[in-house]
Amino acid sequence: MTTGYSVSQYGNMIACKPRMDAYAEALRRAVTPGCTVIDIGAGTGMFALLACKFGAERVIAIEPADAVQLLRISARDNGFADRITVLQDLSTAFTEANVADVIVADLRGCLPLFENHIPIMIDARERMLKPGGILMPHRDTIRAALCCHPDYTELCEEPWLRNDYGVNLSAGHRFAVNRFLRTILKPSDLRSAAHDLLVIDYGTVTSPDFTGSIVLEACEAGTVNGFLLWLDAEIAPGLRYSNAPDEPPLVYETCYFPLECALDLAVGDRIELTMTARLGDGDYLWTWASNLIRAGTNTVERAFRQNSFVESALAARRLRALPKDDDVAAST
């Protein structure tokens, strides 16, 4: 699937100052007089307009959504109509080879593993970029930390494990805890230091699928009920922004992956986390496996195996084949 945004939503992205400042400065450094820039997922065309402002001779703006038609007006209003070509289509429809000195894109969601972002960037690098050309973004890092979501009970336990009506709804609990949620948490909600889970180098990445493993150690005693993931984006060397809880607010939220049940941890308790993301039919399927190891031991006390494709089993045509919890765990 491909997400379509409204003009107002594109406006929110442009108004997101940490993001825009990084991209604008990266473009200013990369664009040289006479160069060709391709803006993939151009939206209303802000990057394309900036590329012209910084001296690009030719800019190709590629965007499937109708919002890109606004760029035709903005190009005229800024005196760039003769330098900007608008292609309302997917970038895979662009057939000129090795034409771009600079390719700029922001196709992410809360995380860079979003829809067909990675395959599009690989295709653009391999087909459209001149040897030695510049690709933006440069590198993305997904970071993770233990957290305690303050709304875990409402999100994951009620009404499935308890409700006011005396009805057993426990069969629904597995669906509530096998999904990830977009959210905004505070630094005080974190229960461990953050670690790099995945690093995506756009100059070398060849596959949209990723697996990462880290060990997260509780830095304070208390309840842990999941993992918080966020993006550290490096648009060009030294130019970055982040949607981490301790950074200025961005247009992006963060991603919360719940545990099957909340855990009470002591300082030094560890959770081994392995996350796998696989692209299928335009959406990522996530698997997260976690092992609890108490401080001073090497023994796994609790083990959880969760995945985001449990929900898809509810499709009516597959209801009879709905796997048991043990089957789902084994499939991860």
Which among 44, 51, 129 is positioned nearest to 88, based on CA atoms? 44
- pLDDT tens digit sequence for 46-75: 999 999 999 999 999 999 999 999 999 999
CA-angle at 14, arms to 8 and 19, nearest 5°: 140
CA dist., res. 198 & res. 211, Å (int): 7
Q: According to the model, what pLDDT value does residue 329 have?
A: 42
Q: Is the pLDDT of residue 322 over 60?
A: no
- The Cα–Cα gap between 309 and 320 comes to 16
Mean pLDDT of 235-251: 95
* Stretch 301-327: mean pLDDT: 69
**Superfamily classification of domain 7-136:** Vaccinia Virus protein VP39 (3.40.50.150)
Question: How far is the C-alpha of 42 from the C-alpha of 120, rounded, in Å?
Answer: 13
pLDDT above 90 (res 42): yes
| Cβ neighbours of 222 (radius 10 Å) | 14
- pLDDT at residue number 310: 87
| pTM higher than 0.85 | yes
pLDDT of 5 strictly over 50: yes
Which pLDDT score is estimated for 304?
98
Cα–Cα distance measured from residue 24 to residue 40, given in angstroms and rounded to the nearest whole number: 15
Mean pLDDT of the region 200-221 = 97
Query: Over 70: is that where the pLDDT of 170 sits?
Result: yes
Q: How far apart are CA 186 and CA 222, in angstroms?
A: 16
Provide the pLDDT for residue 132.
96
> What pLDDT, on the 0 to 100 scale, is given for residue 24?
98
User: What is the average per-residue pLDDT within 161-189?
Assistant: 96
Out of 1.20.1560.10, 2.40.170.20, 2.70.160.11, 2.120.10.30, the CATH code matching 140-331 is 2.70.160.11
Quote the pLDDT of residue 3. 66
Alpha-carbon radius of gyration of the chain: 22
Task: Give the separation between CA 14 and CA 187, rounded to whole angstroms.
Answer: 26
pLDDT at res. 2: 58
At 319, is the pLDDT very low, low, confident or very high (cuts 50, 70, 90)? very low
- Point out the least confidently predicted range of 115-119, 303-307, 312-316: 312-316
Mean pLDDT of the chain: 93
Q: Are strands 36-40 and 239-242 parallel, antiparallel or unpaired?
A: unpaired
**What are the tokens at 100?**
């771009």
Confidence class for position 331, pLDDT limits 50, 70, 90: very low
Span 277-292, pLDDT tens digits: 999 989 999 999 999 9
The CA-atom distances, in angstroms, between 310 and each of 14, 176, 277 are 36, 10, 14
Backbone torsions φ then ψ of 181, nearest 5 degrees: -125, 140
Question: Domain limits of the chain?
Answer: 7-136, 140-331
